[in-house]
């Protein structure tokens, strides 16, 4: 490779590739589409943890497979085009952070005008962001169409339906269908993704990307099952996801806490209080180790489980912990929840208990 091309590679990497990789690591759409978890759904603090990076599972495989500089005569032209797309992406990210969603959408649509070829670096990133914005603005059908469009483009390009990138978008589409109430399509999508990733893993494809995507499928299918009160199946999904997380470098303690919360939740609503306590206690241990602001939510839930078991002293202890830590972290919702639980406990303690016969 000539010195000129080596300089070009370096410039290309710094000015385009790195900004797009930074975006992919934030994995916008996977974190935004939240599905209500049950009649007694996880509180907003838990959903916020998901939004801060829970199980994004965005594949970089497609991104890297698209890299290529072409001939020397076309290299600079392609670089300028991709630099422009990168600029639009970064500006759109800034607009999203400022909640200027219409402006972000306009910038992304301009990015698509610059490059209408699916092999252009970052184009799937643009579609991803557009689908996210459509969902956030309440246009779920538009988000659905965008995801179908990008899946079709990938398959036209020659990507197998089992490729991680295609599976990733198929998972997002299943979540869209779930949000739309199209449960049959959602379930079919989740199960297809689950079967595909499980088969790949069983056949020895245990790289970080493939395993993380399988975990992601398990997690979101588990949430779907919880919504439909299929708690035993949901618990199996969350348990499998949590087991897989031990071998993944990209899953941190905060994300593990989320899985533990959902395990505690489905155990509790299934009447398995001791199981629920085990998972929630582990969540507290992890949370304290990283000074998580979400620990009060776990303490409140533990208090509720003990209350349900009739162990009012333990319930009061954990409700007090929840209230104090919620006040320290200025979490008004958990503070209110803990106070309401303390009132129930006080009332229960005043009520004469029936003596065993």
Return the CATH superfamily for domain 13-229. Answer: Tetratricopeptide repeat domain (1.25.40.10)
- Each domain of the chain, given as residue ranges in start order, spans 13-229, 252-350
Angle, CA 149 vertex, CA 148 and CA 155 arms, to 5°? 90
Give the CA count within 13 Å in the CB-facing half-sphere of 216: 33
The overall average pLDDT reported for the chain is: 80
Q: Could you tell me if 267 and 283 are in contact, meaning their C-beta atoms sit under 8 angstroms apart?
A: no
The 10s digit of each residue's pLDDT in 81-140 is 777 878 888 888 888 888 888 888 888 888 888 766 545 556 778 888 888 888 888 899
Statement: residue 56 has pLDDT above 70: no
Q: Which residues of 199-231 are buried (b: 16+ CB within 10 A; e: fewer)?
A: ebbeeeeeeebbbbbbbbbbbbbbbbbbbeeeb
> Cβ of 333: how many Cβ atoms within 10 Å?
14
- Position 150 pLDDT exceeds 60: yes
* CB 89 within 8 Å of CB 20: yes
| Fold match, 13-229 / 252-350 | yes
Q: Give me the mean pLDDT over the 141-158 stretch.
A: 90
% the chain with pLDDT above 90:
55
For residue range 276-311, what is the model confidence (pLDDT) as tens digits?
999 999 999 999 999 999 999 999 999 999 999 999
348 touches 340 (CB < 8 A): no
**Residue count of the chain:** 357
Convert the pLDDT of each residue in 169-226 to its tens digit.
Answer: 999 999 999 999 999 999 999 999 999 999 999 999 999 999 999 999 999 999 999 9
Kindly list the distances between the CA atom of residue 150 and the CA atoms of 172, 317, 351, in Å, as whole numbers in the listed order.
11, 52, 61
From CA 213, how far away is CA 60, in angstroms rounded?
11
Residue 269 has pLDDT above 70, yes or no: yes
Could you count the other beta carbons within 10 Å of the beta carbon of residue 90? 15
**315-333 pLDDT per residue, tens:** 999 999 999 999 998 999 9
- 62 touches 154 (CB < 8 A): yes
pLDDT for position 253: 92
What lies within 8 Å, CB to CB, of 69 at 6+ separation is 5, 8, 9, 12, 75, 78, 79
Rounded to 5 degrees, what angle do the CA atoms 229, 231, 237 make? 125
pLDDT tens track for 222-255: 999 999 999 999 999 999 999 999 989 989 999 9
> Which pLDDT value is given to residue 117?
54
Which CATH number, 3.40.1160.10, 1.10.1060.10, 1.10.357.10, 1.25.40.10, labels domain 252-350?
Answer: 1.25.40.10
């Amino acid at each position: 490779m000539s010195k000129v091309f080596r300089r070009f590679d370096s410039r290309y990497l710094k000015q385009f590739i790195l900004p797009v990789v930074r975006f992919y690591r934030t994995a916008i759409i996977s974190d935004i589409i939240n599905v209500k978890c049950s009649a007694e759904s996880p509180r907003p603090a838990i959903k916020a943890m998901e939004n801060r990076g829970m199980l994004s599972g965005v594949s970089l495989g497609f991104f890297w497979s698209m890299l290529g500089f072409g001939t020397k005569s076309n290299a600079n032209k392609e670089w300028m085009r991709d630099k422009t797309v990168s600029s639009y992406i970064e500006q759109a990210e800034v607009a999203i952070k400022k909640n200027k969603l219409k402006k972000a959408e306009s910038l992304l649509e301009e990015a698509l005008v610059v490059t209408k070829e699916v092999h252009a670096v970052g184009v799937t990133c643009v579609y991803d962001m557009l689908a996210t914005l459509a969902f956030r603005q309440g246009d779920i059908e538009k988000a659905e169409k965008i995801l179908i469009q990008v899946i079709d483009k990938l398959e036209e390009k020659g990507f197998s339906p089992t490729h991680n990138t295609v599976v990733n978008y198929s998972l997002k589409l299943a979540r869209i269908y779930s949000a739309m109430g199209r449960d049959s399509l959602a379930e079919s999508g989740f199960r297809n993704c689950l079967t595909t990733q499980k088969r790949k893993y069983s056949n020895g494809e245990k790289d970080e990307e493939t395993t993380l995507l399988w975990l992601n499928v398990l997690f979101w299918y588990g949430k779907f099952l919880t919504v439909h009160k299929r708690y035993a199946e949901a618990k199996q999904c969350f348990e499998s996801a949590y087991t897989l997380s031990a071998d993944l470098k990209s899953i941190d303690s905060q994300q593990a806490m989320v899985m533990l919360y959902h395990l505690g939740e489905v155990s509790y609503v299934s009447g398995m209080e001791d199981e629920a306590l085990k998972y929630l206690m582990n969540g507290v241990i992890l949370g304290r180790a990283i000074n998580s602001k979400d620990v009060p939510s776990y303490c409140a839930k533990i208090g509720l489980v003990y209350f349900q078991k009739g162990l009012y002293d333990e319930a009061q202890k954990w409700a007090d912990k929840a209230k104090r830590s919620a006040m320290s972290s200025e979490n008004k919702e958990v503070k209110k929840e803990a106070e309401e639980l303390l009132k129930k406990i006080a009332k229960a303690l005043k009520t004469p208990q029936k003596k065993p016969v």
